[in-house]
Amino acid sequence: MADRVFTIRIITPERVFYEGEASMAEFNTSEGEMGVYAGHIPMTVILKPGVLTLTQAEGRKEAALHTGFAEILPESITVLAEAAEWPGEIDIARAQAARERAEKRLREHSPSTDIARAETALQRAIARIETLR
Amino acid sequence: MASMRDIKRRRSSIQSTGQITRAMKLVSTVKLQKARGKAECTKAYSDYMYKTMRSILAHSEGIRHPYLQGGESGKKAVIVISSNRGLAGGYNSNVVKLITQGELAEAELELYTVGRKGRDGLARAGYTVRLDSSDISEEPTYADAAALARAALTSFTKGEVGEIWIAYTRFKNTVVHEPRLVKLLPLPKPEAEDGQDLPMNFEAEEESVLEALIPNYLTSLIYGGLLESCASENGARMQAMDSATSNAEDMIEDLTLLYNRARQNSITQELTEIIAGAQAIE
């Protein structure tokens, strides 16, 4: 199975982030982490902020992937994400600061806090930090 | 014939106008390049978004959701994208014309305008402007588009409007810009394409997936529309300013000719007068 490849396209509003072939893709969805090989049944999943891992003949690639969705077809995957970053593009200090800020917001839990937004911000920061690890 | 001084004054005024239009052309050329680069980067995203949405819908049977059926209300929300500044040839009036001369009836429209020129033009024609976000038209960001999409979607889910449209200017190339009116919601359900008749599966509930996808879809198409309009605006302005500059040059040429003729005329006249005077003394 591992030698069968599919095309993967990762597109964000700013640019075509990545376009190429991979034998496996792993990402975080609303239902949990999932890994996809070629020949998957057609499926649409909602993405949560997390680490995207591509397994390719020449090695593994990692990137931080934020909210969006993916359309999985047997021969191809199209990922439409609101933002995506390679490890080299991540500012670790900023991610750490964002994480602390979001955690603080969630802890204090004042009525004015938008819980869903704070959680997304937290997940995003964690995804960035995880990608660098 | 006009006097030498009048011609001279007129010529120098046209000269300075020409300088202004030339500078404006240069500015919009630079802006166009920037806007165009951005629009092209985003085009992939909105194109794929549209394609993917269609293919998801084509593959999934029997989803019933207000986003696909349209609301009960006969009202239609139209997002109209124009510019804040004029002097862009027919750019703004073409977008306005799209609404006033289109097939949509005036009474059933609620406008979400971006760009002061379009807002003013349509408000004068008696249209209802529900929300104006003109300040984002210069350099639109994804977050701006998301806010606009949210506003339109909220009134859709509340049942205040039954359809969402967008009026923008498509940027074909530097000289061709095409004003377009496109229906965003409810999504037309496409016929399933052959060769791909596997049904689409959803990890979560179909409805909740759609619920999450639609705002994304709307935002990305609005964002694409904003960027393309921005590129078109600068393209249109560049063209308008280019022809204004060359018109100014033509006029200056004509006036220079006229001025020289007037000058020669006055010299000849002076000479004639002097000679006539000298002859009278003799």
Which pLDDT tens digit goes with each residue over B73-87? 778 889 999 999 888
Q: Identify which has the larger pLDDT, B57 or A77.
A: A77
Q: pLDDT at residue B63 above 70?
A: no
**Residues of A at the B interface, defined by Cβ within 8 angstroms:** 9, 11-16, 29-31, 34, 41-46, 68-69, 71, 73-74, 78, 80, 82
More reliable by pLDDT, B175 or A113: B175
Q: What is the CATH number of the domain that holds A112?
A: 1.20.5.440
A9: closest CA among B48, B51, B53, B58?
B48
Q: Which residue has the higher pLDDT, B259 or B103?
A: B259
A113 and A59, same structural domain?
Answer: no
Contact call for residues B162 and B72 (beta carbons, < 8 A): yes
Q: Is residue B100, in this structure, part of any structural domain at all?
A: yes
Q: Compute the count of residue pairs across chains A and B with CB atoms less than 8 Å apart.
A: 72
Q: Output the pLDDT for position B190.
A: 63
The CB density around residue B60, as the number of other CB atoms within 10 Å, is 19
Q: What is the mean pLDDT of residues A75-85?
A: 87
Q: Domain range for residue B103?
A: 46-189+204-237
- Give the nearest chain A residue to B206 (CA atoms): A44
Enter the pTM of the model.
0.81
Which CATH number does the domain housing residue B224 bear? 3.40.1380.10
Pick from A34, A46, A80: CB nearest B48: A80
Structural domains in chain A (count): 2
Q: Which domain holds residue A67?
A: 6-85
Q: What pLDDT does B1 receive?
A: 58
Higher pLDDT, B50 or B244: B244
SS3 assignment, position A71: strand
Residue B3 within a domain: no
pLDDT tens column, A12-68: 888 888 888 888 899 888 888 888 888 888 888 888 888 888 888 888 888 888 888
Q: Which of B98, B104, B215 is nearest to B156 (CA)?
A: B215
**What residues 139-198 of chain B have any CB closer than 8 A to a CB of chain A?**
142, 196, 198
pLDDT at residue number B26: 95
Does residue B15 lie within any of the structural domains? no
Residue A93: in which H helix or E strand, if any? helix A92-108
User: Quick check: B194 pLDDT over 60?
Assistant: no
pLDDT of amino acid B204: 67
Interface of B with A in 219-278 (CB under 8 A): 220, 223
Among candidates B42, B196, B212 on the partner chain, residue whose Cβ is nearest the Cβ of A13: B42
CA distance B46 to chain A (A): 8
* Residue of chain B nearest A45, judged by CA positions: B203
Over 60: is that where the pLDDT of A1 sits? Answer: no
Looking at this predicted complex, what is its ipTM?
0.70
Taking only the tens place, the pLDDT of each residue in A62-78 is 888 888 888 888 888 98
Same domain, A34 and A61: yes
Q: Report yes or no: B171 and B38 within 8 Å, Cβ to Cβ.
A: no
pLDDT at B28: 92
The number of domains in chain B is 1
What per-residue string of b and e applies to B105-118 under the rule 16 or more CB within 10 Å gives b?
A: eeeebbbbbbbbbb
Whether B54 has a pLDDT exceeding 60, the answer reads yes
Question: Which of A34, A39, A17, A36 lies closest to A25, judged by CA?
Answer: A36
Contact A46 B203 (CB under 8 A): yes
Indicate if A63 and A123 belong to the same structural domain.
no
